[in-house]
Amino acid sequence: MPCVGASAFVGSAVCACARLRCPPPTAYEKALLSVAELSDGVRLACQIALPLAGDADEVEIPAESWSAGQRTHLTGQEAPLHRSSALAWTDLNAQPPLPDDPRADWERLGPGVAALLPPSPAALAQLPGLLRQHGWRVRLIHQGGRAMTCLPPDQAPLGLAVDLGTTSLAAYLVNLETGQTLAAQGAANPQAPYGADVIARIAASMQQARLGARLQAMLSQRLQDLAVALCAAAGAAPGEVVAATIVGNTAMHHLWLGLPVAHLGTAPYVPVISRALTVPAAALGLHLAPGAEVYHPPSVAGFVGGDHLAMLLAVDILAQPSPVLALDIGTNTEITLRVGERLLCCSAASGPAFEGAEITHGMQASAGAIERVTWAGHGLVWADHRRLTATGVVWGLACWTCWGTLLEQGHLTPTGAFMPGTLGHPKAAFEVVPAAHSSHGRAITLSRRDISAVQLAKGAIRAGIKLLLEAANLQEHDLASVILAGAFGNYLTVEHAVAIGLLPPLPLVRFRQVGNAAGMGAKRLLLSNAERSAVEALSTRLEYLELTTHPDFADRFSQAILLASDPWD
């Protein structure tokens, strides 16, 4: 069975400490690791006791260790799209130079091209080699009346679409000519060691002057690695990627672009810029086709960013029956309510509990995580037994709530507290997996603290929903539909989320789970100028509600943390 540590190395399999004075390997490590790994200083994270002996004050956790096995949700519902690419391309034939015709290569492409399309240095640098390698034929990529780059003749230009999440990244390689997704891959956000949520990363950046540049470089390297892997899977090369679109929440947008984030961490949470930005890929450390550019959609507010706009675009929020609620649930949950022509939105600080970071035995969704538990007789039956994910916690709480196993029998109160002495656990912790059945030999428990972490997260979301509806003079039962996006929103079992009060008590047919809609929106923005215009217009229509300063938020939140489908007085 895989080994999981109970230390800071959440979900990791190994930690490399070759530069440190490593402790002697344990018998468990000798059984699982090779002689070469042991001699290189590799140790299992769950076997490391901190602080280490000697002068060591750091432990290096290889990226392949702490991100291994993490599941990134890559799919989502995709609506038909009329492609009107932000880029255009023209196949050109030139006559080779002769002694009596020594015109420059660019001018040899024809007077229309030379006069109408001012070249970029990248296009000029590639042109001579491509012309001579391909019989004086070349495919010219241009945008907005300027030549950007060159490709071999008839070669399909490729694009990269990325959903830049706080916890994980989802990347897609797209054929810009056909619109086909050639490859998709997810990865952990490498910034996670500096904070499980954006607030923690903003705080870390404010405390360490040079950290912002490091965080940007970490993302750049991870995205470059993803681009290389995607191209390899599609039999292509990064040099064929002529454009990219990256969407993320406002904090991730700023950290990716290397912008200051201090003002995002203090009221009134003002971003540096809200409008759409197009930036040369090379300036961001991405080695794609020379001249490639990266489009970033607008942000709405300090905690509602381009990823939420991309999600609204992908689900076609303006075409949905009104009133409709759209939620992208994650470490930061963005919520939009459409009522007629009005679009009201807010951001709920759901925190990292939904990613397992605030759960005692928590981890992100990956192989071996407990995501499904059911009650059978007087105990639990679990699908796997490594550690708890937030989805596992929600499922368990909801099962007990729905079936009356704990709440109705008096084992668990609506406030989330275990009754002392119930279920044989006087210390108010419920044993999910006995020590004999866990991979690390310790019991996996669900404690009052774990329940509180999920209560706080779901309370913030439900309070945000309530306040948006009140701003529109609506009740929860007025909602015609609720759209759930994001990895957590996709894996969540709706009836259980309703039972514990995360979502309003509506008929299940009114809920629709759409997967990674932000990623689908990023692809639409990559493929269509019309979609870019639509998302930029959409950003100006959203009415933002700041929950932290709302006079009724504390009252709604205090009710919403109750484990009840209808917590309102």
Taking Cα atoms as reference points, which of 44, 429, 119 lies closest to residue 17? 44
Mean pLDDT of 207-219: 90
**CA angle centred on 559, ends 557 and 562, rounded to 5°:** 110
Specify the range with the lowest mean pLDDT, choosing from 36-50, 58-72, 295-309.
58-72
343 bridge partner residues:
338, 542
CA dihedral defined by 214, 216, 220, 222, rounded to 10 degrees? 70
Q: Is 193 helix (H, G, I), strand (E, B) or coil?
A: helix
What backbone phi and psi angles, to 5 degrees, belong to 336?
-125, 135
162 with 145, same domain?
A: no
Domain boundary among 251, 272, 296: 296
pLDDT > 70? residue 375: no
Q: Is the dihedral angle over the CA atoms 358, 440, 388, 520 positive or is it negative?
A: positive
pLDDT > 50? residue 37: yes
CA distance 61 to 42: 10
Specify the range with the lowest mean pLDDT, choosing from 18-22, 80-84, 127-131, 531-535.
18-22
Q: Does the residue 112 lie in any domain?
A: yes
Domain boundary among 6, 36, 66: 66
Residue 356 pLDDT: 47
Domain boundary among 118, 151, 184: 151
CB 556 within 8 A of CB 549: no
Residue type for 398, please?
Answer: A
Highest mean pLDDT among 77-81, 328-332, 369-373: 328-332
Q: Is 382 exposed, middle or buried (0-12, 13-18, 19+ CB in 10 A)?
A: buried
pLDDT > 70? residue 57: no
CA distance 502 to 508: 14
Taking Cα atoms as reference points, which of 246, 274, 287, 289 lies closest to residue 525? 246
pLDDT > 60? residue 89: yes
Residue 39 pLDDT: 81
CB 370 within 8 A of CB 433: yes
**CA angle centred on 537, ends 536 and 543, rounded to 5°:** 105
**Structure pTM?**
0.81
| Confidence bin at 409 (pLDDT 50/70/90) | low
CB 175 within 8 A of CB 165: no
Residue 430 pLDDT: 67
Taking Cα atoms as reference points, which of 298, 256, 245, 294 lies closest to residue 274? 298
Helices (H), 234-380: 250-257, 306-314
Q: Does the residue 386 lie in any domain?
A: no
Residue 68 pLDDT: 41
In our burial notation (b when 16+ CB lie closer than 10 A, e otherwise), range 337-353 reads: bbbeeebbbbbbbbbbb
Q: Is 369 helix (H, G, I), strand (E, B) or coil?
A: strand
260, two tokens: 């200051």
**CA angle centred on 163, ends 158 and 167, rounded to 5°:** 140
Specify the range with the lowest mean pLDDT, choosing from 78-82, 152-156, 247-251.
78-82
pLDDT > 90? residue 23: no
pLDDT, tens digit, 9 for 90 and up, residues 266-310: 888 999 999 999 999 999 999 999 999 999 999 999 999 999 999
Q: Does the residue 334 lie in any domain?
A: no
Q: Does the residue 188 lie in any domain?
A: yes
Residue 374 pLDDT: 59
pLDDT > 70? residue 371: no
CA distance 59 to 46: 13
242 with 146, same domain?
A: no
**CA angle centred on 132, ends 127 and 134, rounded to 5°:** 95
CB 488 within 8 A of CB 391: yes
**CA angle centred on 444, ends 442 and 448, rounded to 5°:** 130
What backbone phi and psi angles, to 5 degrees, belong to 181?
-80, 115
Residue 493 pLDDT: 81
553, two tokens: 């938020």
183 with 291, same domain?
A: yes
167 with 261, same domain?
A: yes
The residue with tokens 């290389």 is: 228
Q: Does the residue 9 lie in any domain?
A: no
Q: Does the residue 195 lie in any domain?
A: yes
Q: Does the residue 174 lie in any domain?
A: yes
Mean pLDDT of 226-239: 96
209 with 290, same domain?
A: yes
pLDDT > 50? residue 19: no
182 bridge partner residues:
none
Residue 235 sits in which domain range? 158-296
Q: Could you write out the three-class secondary structure of 386-407?
A: CEECHHHHHHHHHHHHHHCCCC
1, two tokens: 């069975």
Strand locations in 379-496 (E): 379-382, 387-388, 429-433, 444-447, 481-485
176 with 283, same domain?
A: yes
Specify the range with the lowest mean pLDDT, choosing from 178-192, 262-276, 425-439, 462-476.
425-439
CB 446 within 8 A of CB 432: yes
CA distances from 429 to 422, 424, 426 (A): 9, 9, 8
128 with 144, same domain?
A: yes
Residue 265 pLDDT: 86
Q: Is 264 exposed, middle or buried (0-12, 13-18, 19+ CB in 10 A)?
A: buried
Residue of 365 and 48 predicted with greater confidence: 48
Averaged pLDDT score across all residues of the chain = 81
CB 218 within 8 A of CB 256: no
146 with 174, same domain?
A: no
The alpha carbons of the chain give a radius of gyration, in whole angstroms, of: 26
146 with 59, same domain?
A: no
Into how many domains does the chain fold?
Answer: 3
Residue 18 pLDDT: 34
Taking Cα atoms as reference points, which of 291, 199, 276, 283 lies closest to residue 242? 291
Residue 27 pLDDT: 85
Residue of 200 and 287 predicted with greater confidence: 287
CA distance 115 to 192: 49
281 with 166, same domain?
A: yes
147 with 178, same domain?
A: no
CA distance 373 to 361: 15
Residue 301 pLDDT: 93
Sheet architecture: strand order including 342-348: 511-515, 481-485, 324-328, 333-339, 342-348, 542-544
194 with 111, same domain?
A: no
| Confidence bin at 495 (pLDDT 50/70/90) | confident
Mean pLDDT of 222-248: 96
pLDDT > 50? residue 569: yes
Please give the DSSP secondary-structure letter assigned to residue 194: G
User: In this structure, what CATH number is given to the domain that contains residue 168?
Assistant: 3.30.420.480
Task: Please list, in sequence order, all residues whose beta carbon lies within 8 angstroms of the beta carbon of residue 233, skipping any fewer than 6 positions away.
Answer: 173, 182, 183, 185
Residue 73 pLDDT: 55
Q: Does the residue 468 lie in any domain?
A: no
95 bridge partner residues:
none
Helices (H), 143-249: 198-207, 211-233
**CA angle centred on 120, ends 117 and 122, rounded to 5°:** 135
CA distance 431 to 424: 9
Taking Cα atoms as reference points, which of 14, 17, 57 lies closest to residue 40? 17
User: In this structure, what CATH number is given to the domain that contains residue 127?
Assistant: 3.10.20.880
Task: Please list, in sequence order, all residues whose beta carbon lies within 8 angstroms of the beta carbon of residue 432, skipping any fewer than 6 positions away.
Answer: 361, 370, 373, 380, 382, 388, 396, 444, 445, 446
